[in-house]
Amino acid sequence: MASPGTPRYVAIIADGNGRWAQKRGLCVGEGHRAGAENVRARLRDAVEFGIRELTIFAFSTENWARPADEVSGLMELLAEYIDFVTPELNDEGVRLRFVGDRSPPVPSSLVKRMSWAERLTAHNELLTFFVPINYGGRAEILQAARRFRGSSEEEFTALLYAPDMHDPELLIRAGSEQRLSNFLLWQSVDAWIVFSKEMWPEFSRQSFEAAVEEQRRAETRRTRQRSKAQAPYAAQLRA
């Protein structure tokens, strides 16, 4: 059950897997694997917090520039993750949605797994878990702009990768960097942003809960400020 004011729509940039591994003398692949395990844990937290949509950045368009062995390892890990986690999430009532460009160089075997996971979980309603793969905010906007013939934001939003995705109320970035990294540029215009110094594999339930509470307090302040600003006009109307 969500506490009053808990953000319903949350997005996370899960950064720092490689640096976490390097500090421990591990290979980068082990860092990504630890990060994948943390996704499962924080997803369960999101359900308990009452969050309705959780988006966690998995692989960006810029990630193709990483070393070839790291990229191939990430593709294999994503495929393994989908195979292993999808039945579990389906049993728990979580809906899976993948966001991004599914054309090459994304492996066709991975695209098939993504489609399978979406079909299997399509009717679940407890929480929608969006996973951006081969995703870039600028590319998303450009692709929509090429097809846009309307005149409203709503019509433009309908052309994005996931028109059903709500704008995140809270955006968290792990890994100590303070930038958006081409993530949900259209959708995050009004999101409260929390930058965490923790690397993603060590981003804990307590850190997640603290970020949720920070956004809740910020939204409460904004609501009060709006009420105060509107009070004089309301008084004039009653006069």
Q: Look up the CATH number of the domain holding residue 153.
A: 3.40.1180.10
The answer to whether residues 74 and 32 touch, using CB atoms and an 8 Å cutoff, is yes
Q: Is residue 1 part of a domain?
A: no
Q: Is the pLDDT of residue 206 over 90?
A: yes
164 is catalytic: no
Residue 5, pLDDT score: 77
**Which position has the higher pLDDT, 140 or 235?**
140
Q: Which of 63, 90, 124, 182 is catalytic?
A: 63
Q: Is residue 181 part of a domain?
A: yes
Q: Is the pLDDT of residue 1 over 80?
A: no
Q: Is residue 224 part of a domain?
A: yes
pTM here is 0.92
83 is catalytic: no
Q: Is residue 158 part of a domain?
A: yes
Residue range 8-25, pLDDT digits in tens = 999 999 999 999 999 999
Q: Is the pLDDT of residue 237 over 90?
A: no
Domain ranges, residue 113: 9-238
Residue range 52-99, pLDDT digits in tens = 999 999 999 999 999 999 999 999 999 999 999 999 999 999 999 999
**Beta-bridge partner residues of 192:** 170
Count of domains observed in the chain: 1
The answer to whether residues 160 and 100 touch, using CB atoms and an 8 Å cutoff, is no
Burial of 230 (0-12, 13-18, 19+ CB in 10 A): exposed
- The total of other beta-carbon atoms located within 10 Å of residue 232's CB is 9
Confidence band (pLDDT; 50, 70, 90) for 222?
Answer: confident
Q: Which of 15, 17, 38, 134 is catalytic?
A: 15
Residue 108, pLDDT score: 97
